[in-house]
Amino acid sequence: MILGEEVQWQAAEAQVREHAEQERRRREAARSGAETERRTGEDERHLRVLSPAKHCAKEEVSRRRRTVPVLTSLVKSCVLGAAIIAWLTMPTPAQVTPTPSPAASTQAAPLSQVQEKALKPKDRFKECASCPEMIVVPAGTFTMGSPTSEPGHSVDENPQHMVTIPRQFAVGRFEVTFDEWDACVADRGCNGYKPSDEGWGRGRRPVINVSWDDAKAYVAWLSKKTGKSYRLLSGAEYEYATRAGTQTAYPWGDAVGTNNANCHACGSQWDAKQTAPVGSFAANGFGLYDMVGNVREWTEDCYHERYIGAPADGSAWIEGGNCYDRVVRGGSFLLAPAFLRSASRYWFAADYRLRYLGFRVARTLAS
C-alpha cells in the first residue's frame, strides 16, 4: 500500500471509531428505556466511510471444476464356475488430505477419547452430519500484533508480544455456513433465528447478519448436540491460526496480491459486492480457509484498546475489557486490504447483526 493510501485508511479507521463511540454513548443513554431497534443500515454507513473509490477491475475469475472420483465395479467371469469376485470399497478415514470442497469423507460422529488423543496437526474430523468440519491446529509460539512500520498498522495492535498456545486445538476449516446455521434452527436451536442472506444465496456461503450473541447460541447448540466443548476462538488463537507460522502482513506475504481473498480491491469476482462460497481461495499453512476476507468473524475477547496486560497463553482476554464490545477479526468483502492483515482487529457491540459479520468455531481437545 502506498503512503497516501495508508494515511487515507488510517483516517477512515479513526472516523469509524469516532462514529462507533457516538453510537455507544447513544445506546447507553437509551438503556434506561426500551432497547432501540438495531440499525440494519449500519453496514452501509461503514461502507461509505471505508470505501475511498469503487474498485474498477472486473476480471472474472473462473473457478476450478472439481470432479469426484467414480468407483467402477469390475466383475470377471471365470470359466470352470468360479465365484464372482466383488471388490469392496474400504471406508475413507477421518484424516484425509485437505481439499477446497466440503469433505463428505470425514467421520460424522463424536470422537471417542482414544480417537481424540490420537489426533495430529492437520487431521480433520466432523462430529455430526450437519456439524462444521474441523481441522487440528498445532501448539506453538508466535509474535502477536504488528510493528509500527507495517502499512495499515493500528495502535490497538501494540505492543507486540509473545504468545504461546500450549496445546493443540481444533478450528473450523471454513466459516460457519448457512447450511450449518439452518441445521441448528431446524433442530430447534439458535433461538429459531433465520438471518437474511441478502439475496446472495445460502448453502455453502458463510452465515451473515449474526451477532456475537447469535454465535454463542450456535456453539451452545453444537456443544449440546455433540457432547463436546465447542466455542469461539480467542483473539490470540485467531491471529495464531491466521498466521499459520508466518510473520508477514498477510498469511501469504507482505502484499495483498490478486485473488488471494475477497475484499474491496483484492482482485476477486466478489470484491465489494457480496460474500463468496467458503473455500473459494487457497488455504493457509494450517489448512484453514478464509481466515481473512469474506466476512469479519466474532471472537470471544472483550475489547481492549492496547495489548497491555494481555494473556500470554492464548486464552480469551476478558478481564479489564469492555465486554459490551467484542473483538472481530479478518476483514471482509467490503473492506480494504489493510483490514485483512493478520494483526488487524476491530470491535462491535455484541448484538450487532451486519451483512459482513459471521464466525467460525473452535473446539478444545483432550490432551
- Each residue of 202-245: pLDDT tens digit? 999 999 999 999 999 999 999 999 999 999 999 999 999 999 99
Instruction: Categorize the per-residue pLDDT at 71 as very low, low, confident or very high, splitting at 50, 70 and 90.
Output: very low
Output the pLDDT for position 364. Answer: 96
CA distance 160 to 49: 28
User: 219 with 361: CB under 8 angstroms?
Assistant: yes
- Each residue of 101-136: pLDDT tens digit? 443 335 689 999 999 999 999 999 999 999 999 999
3-25+41-52+106-364 in CATH: which number? 3.90.1580.10
Residue with cell 509473545: 162
What is the mean predicted confidence (pLDDT) over 148-166? 98
Maximum distance among all Cα pairs of the chain, rounded to whole angstroms: 92
Output the pLDDT for position 17. Answer: 55
The pLDDT of residue 72 is above 70: no
Grid coordinates representing 247 are: 510473520
CA distance 281 to 67: 17
Nearest Cα to 212, choosing from 291, 316, 311?
316
The pLDDT of residue 176 is above 80: yes
- Kindly report the number of other CB atoms within 10 A of residue 19's CB atom: 14
Output the pLDDT for position 303. Answer: 98
Output the pLDDT for position 286. Answer: 98
pTM across the whole model: 0.75
Q: Where are the alpha helices (DSSP H) in 93-177?
A: 113-117
Radius of gyration of the chain (CA): 22
Provide the residue type at 47 as one letter: L
CA distance 301 to 327: 6
- Each residue of 253-286: pLDDT tens digit? 999 999 999 999 999 999 999 999 999 999 999 9
Output the pLDDT for position 5. Answer: 42
* 55-to-45, 48, 320 alpha-carbon distances in Å: 18, 14, 40
- The H-or-E segment that residue 48 falls in is helix 42-50
CA distance 130 to 171: 16
What is the mean predicted confidence (pLDDT) over 321-333? 97
Secondary structure letter of residue 244 according to DSSP: T
- Lowest mean pLDDT: which of 23-27, 149-153, 176-180, 186-190? 23-27
- Each residue of 7-61: pLDDT tens digit? 454 455 555 456 555 655 655 554 444 333 333 344 444 443 344 333 333 333 3
Output the pLDDT for position 367. Answer: 84
What is the mean predicted confidence (pLDDT) over 142-166? 98
Q: Is the model more confident about 137 or about 75?
A: 137
Domain boundaries, the chain: 3-25+41-52+106-364
The pLDDT of residue 97 is above 80: no
Specify burial of residue 52 (Cβ count, 10 A radius: 0-12, 13-18, 19+): middle
Specify burial of residue 10 (Cβ count, 10 A radius: 0-12, 13-18, 19+): middle
What is the mean predicted confidence (pLDDT) over 86-105? 37
Cα 160–Cα 164–Cα 168 angle in degrees, nearest 5? 140
